[in-house]
């Protein structure tokens, strides 16, 4: 049986799946989250992007001033995220970790992205 990690690593290497799964444009969730933050006047500085892949949401959020941490269990997309963040002149801290393992290597005061 193929593991979840193997499936994601394979998808990241497949040109068409990679384009769809690991795109470069932020997803709708970022706009919805920002609307929620603004409407509720929530003070947020740091965001943890869980399952960040190559960072399309993480980079978009870093560009508007959040301190962003991206966590994923596949190394290759995280390496691409780091390259892209450097190219975009933003800082995104990456963490390679399987989130099904407890405890997570983070503190509890993050806004979590699904």
Superfamily (CATH) of domain 4-113: Vaccinia Virus protein VP39 (3.40.50.150)
Whole-number pLDDT of residue 114: 47
Tens-level pLDDT at each residue, the chain (114 residues): 777 767 666 766 666 655 555 555 666 777 887 788 888 887 878 888 988 988 888 998 898 888 999 999 889 889 989 999 999 999 999 999 988 887 777 766 665 544
Whole-number pLDDT of residue 25: 65
| 97 C-beta neighbours (distance < 10 Å), count | 14
Task: Supply 112's token pair.
Answer: 């979590």
Q: Which letter does DSSP use for residue 66 in this model?
A: -
Whole-number pLDDT of residue 40: 86
Q: Is 18 left (phi over 0), alpha (psi -120 to 50) or beta?
A: alpha
Alpha-carbon distance 92 to 63, whole Å?
10
The domain locations on the chain are 4-113
Task: Supply 83's token pair.
Answer: 């390259």
H-run or E-run covering 49: strand 46-50
Whole-number pLDDT of residue 39: 87
């Amino acid at each position: 049986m193929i593991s979840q990690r193997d499936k994601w690593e394979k998808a990241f290497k497949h040109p068409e799946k990679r384009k769809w799964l690991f795109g470069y444009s932020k997803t709708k969730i970022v706009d919805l989250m920002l609307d929620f933050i603004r409407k509720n006047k929530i003070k947020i500085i740091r965001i943890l992007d869980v399952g960040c892949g190559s960072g399309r949401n993480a980079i978009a959020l870093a560009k508007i001033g959040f301190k962003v941490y991206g966590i994923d269990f596949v190394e290759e997309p995280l390496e691409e995220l780091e390259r892209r963040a450097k190219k975009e002149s933003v800082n995104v801290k990456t963490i390679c970790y399987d989130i099904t393992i407890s405890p997570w290597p983070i503190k509890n005061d993050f806004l979590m992205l699904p």
